[in-house]
Structure 1
Amino acid sequence: MLTPLPSFMLGHEVVVEPYAGASAYGPRYGAPITVACFLDQQTRLVRNPAGQEVTSTSTFYARPGLVCPAESRVTLPDGRVTRVIARLDRSGGGMPTPDHVEVQLL
């Protein structure tokens, strides 16, 4: 059973432009979507999809189902534009904990 993050935890909004691949003119992005989330602006070491350690400056947590692959462009509430390092599905595994998506940002 899916137990999504409760609304009272989603006090921030970010704008996500999903990465759609490379073109001759640079990266392509999908249409921007506004995502209600919990934003944690904390610097920490994380691993990118290739397994390398990189520094993440922010992480946001949103409801399951968010399409936000690595390299997607994200605009934070303060106007800073950054990119996605990794998107991780976090499931409670049937326990009564909120299921969510964790998105690590450069």
Structure 2
Amino acid sequence: MPEVLLRHRITVEPYAGESAYGPQYRHAIPNVPAMIDETARMVRAPDGRQVTASATIVAGPLLDCPPGSRITLPDGRTTTAITTAHHTAPGLPVPACTEVTCE
């Protein structure tokens, strides 16, 4: 995805797993270029539940944001990644990107 189209900046704290104290996150990645769509839509979570996503984020193809990651949006709202999809088309003249749906 051309960075010129990624006008928003987000902070991503990649999910590292659960501990006795709750979810654990790796070091925050600040100022990640992204495009945000805050349209609500139904998505299926990794455990099979249908949930409402409040935002969809499109970022570069190398974004490290597994489901469960904590994301801070440009308006300061903190949300959690529900699903992450890497879109690629090797050999075709289309941009690669990562799409993240958030609670």
**1:41-80: CA deviation from partner (whole Å, max 9, x where unpaired):** 1100111112322100001111111111111000001111
1: CA distance, partners of 2:65 / 2:42 = 20
> Please, what TM-score do these two structures have when normalized by structure 2?
0.93
State the identity %. 45
Deviation at 1:92, TM superposition (A): 2.6
Which residue does 1:39 correspond to in 2?
36
**Cα gap change, 1:54/1:93 in structure 2, threshold over 3 Å: closer, same or farther?**
farther
Aligned residue for 1:8, secondary structure, equals helix
Which residue does 1:12 correspond to in 2?
8
Aligned residue for 1:77, secondary structure, equals coil
Which residue does 1:77 correspond to in 2?
74
1: CA distance, partners of 2:91 / 2:49 = 31
**Cα gap change, 1:93/1:52 in structure 2, threshold over 3 Å: closer, same or farther?**
farther
**1:11-54: CA deviation from partner (whole Å, max 9, x where unpaired):** 00110000111111111111100211111111001111123221
CA RMSD of superposed structures (Å): 1.1
Number of aligned residue pairs: give it. Answer: 102
> Please, what TM-score do these two structures have when normalized by structure 1?
0.90
Which residue does 1:66 correspond to in 2?
63
